[in-house]
Amino acid sequence: MATALFVVSEEGYWGEECIEPLTSLSDAGVDVTVATPSGAPPEIDERSVDPDEVGEETAEHVMDVHENDDRLNDPIPVATADADDYDTVVFPGGHGTEWDINQDRHARTLLAETVAGDDGTALVVCHAIGILAFTWDEGGERIVDGRNVTGFPNEWEEGIVDEHDRMPDGRKLPYWVEDEVRAAGANWDAELDADTSVTVDGDLVTARGPGSSAAAAETLLDELAIDGSA
């Protein structure tokens, strides 16, 4: 049985970006484990379960899984996870990742070790893409340098934060994902003219945002050579 580790934010993950891949992989027979920085249950970004924001059907489905999935309710601490134990490590997005996951040294180690070998595959979604800018390989090089990636674009961020980079809840956004990842040497293309954006570069799969969550899950299953209809 294939295995997957989901590294989920305690500061606010975006519902669809976690739940869509989690349920898709589970339905395909993948054994899923959830980890958070401290081992506490992850918090969900309230906007991602607001029917006016995401639609009633998505909001209800995401909230149902968030509240009732045993794996989300009883995660392991990120520091206890070993990349060698999993076929894939998934980093769902959400602005919350900028305050915890992307800065967590154990999360960065998981990512680096997953993409370093021949066996692992990493899926990084939306704002979690920021972790790529802060992760180095064993040789001291940024793992994203020279890689093709997509992610949450500046053009979308402009519609969320104010002129002082404050979020709707008043928190200041510490950085913009596109800026940091470009500065780290990535070949960035968020494919703004496309309905979805998922990029595969070797053992690294990146996805632009919520609307690309289903496509990201399908792509990951293809990369793992798993039939999603199982």
Q: Can you tell me the mean pLDDT for 202-216? A: 97
Q: Can you tell me the mean pLDDT for 177-184? A: 98
Pair 206, 122: CB distance under 8 Å: no
Q: Can you tell me the mean pLDDT for 157-167? A: 96
**Banded model confidence at residue 167, pLDDT cuts 50, 70, 90:** very high
Residue 145 pLDDT:
96
Q: What percent of the chain has pLDDT over 90?
A: 95
Q: 13-39 pLDDT, tens per residue? A: 999 999 999 999 999 999 999 999 999
Q: What percent of the chain has pLDDT over 70?
A: 99
148-149/187-188 β-pairing: parallel
Domains defined along the chain, listed by start = 3-224 (3.40.50.880)
Residue 228 pLDDT:
72
Non-local (6+) Cβ contacts of 157 within 8 A are 173, 176, 177, 178
DSSP-assigned states of every residue in 74-125? SPEEGGG--GGG-SEEEE---GGGGTTGGG-HHHHHHHHHHHHSSS-EEEEE
Q: Which residues partner with 3 through β-bridges?
A: 31
Q: What is the mean pLDDT of the chain?
A: 96
Q: 33-59 pLDDT, tens per residue? A: 999 999 999 999 999 999 999 999 999
Residue 117 pLDDT:
72
